[in-house]
Structure 1
Amino acid sequence: MSNDSKHVLVDNAEAKQFQFELEKGIAKIEYIKAKKKIYLTHTEVPEAYEGKGIGSELIRQTLEHIKEEGWTLVPLCPFVAMYIKRHPEWKELVLKGINIR
């Protein structure tokens, strides 16, 4: 997998979150995994990094990871749902019957 990003996605299974370790804190997406489904529940970016595209990059790498693992996505976090709405190529990961508005 080519990763031209300077941010490295870490799956912190203990904390149940995907994260980027940044100089000034951690950007994270919290998740719940159950039976090959992954529920993304909350996205958080440190204030110092807001508006710099970190959240979008974190979501993009998380979605790539979910695709590689073959999980079905349930995007409970509005930020993730909005990202998928803007990038409909990721809709194939989303659990059937869930409408991204």
Structure 2
Amino acid sequence: MSEFEITREDGETKGRYVLIHDGAEAEAELTYSILSPQTRIADHTGVPDAMRGTGAGQALVKRLVEDARAEGWKIVPLCPFVNAQRAMHPEWADAFNV
């Protein structure tokens, strides 16, 4: 897998993860809504065509899961991509509220 730089931006009610692939100009993102201190709703994952097949989307979801575990909140996978990744990774089940 290529090198990814992922940053997280938190607002009062929304946030997002931004991924840059090997210093490229384009960025992928995973957005979420903050429902409560214990719950985040993953609502959208967007990966530019130039990054498709690089593992960028999976890297974003993995980071979301890592942060949920570290900070003690659960993910509601409203985004179809996040939900598909959840189904493919049963080892992540503890991070989700489904």
What is the TM-score with the length of structure 1 in the denominator?
0.81
Q: Distance in 1 between matches of 2:6 and 2:68?
A: 12
Q: Distance in 2 between matches of 1:54 and 1:75?
A: 17
| Structure 1 unpaired stretches of 5+ | none
Q: Residue 27 in 1 paired to residue 24 in 2?
A: no
Number of equivalent positions: 92
Q: Distance in 1 between matches of 2:89 and 2:5?
A: 21
Moved over 2 A (4+): none
1:31-84: per-residue Cα shift (whole Å, max 9, x none)? 001212000000001110111211111111221111111111101011011111
Q: Distance in 2 between matches of 1:12 and 1:43?
A: 15
| Structure 2 unpaired stretches of 5+ | none
Q: How does 1:1-101 map to 2 (within 5 A)?
A: 6-14=3-11, 16-22=15-21, 23-35=24-36, 36-95=38-97, 98=98
Larger fraction in strand: 2
The alignment yields a C-alpha RMSD, in angstroms, of 1.6
Fraction of identical pairs, as percent = 29
Q: Distance in 1 between matches of 2:4 and 2:20?
A: 8
What is the TM-score with the length of structure 2 in the denominator?
0.83
Matched letter for residue 73 of structure 1? I
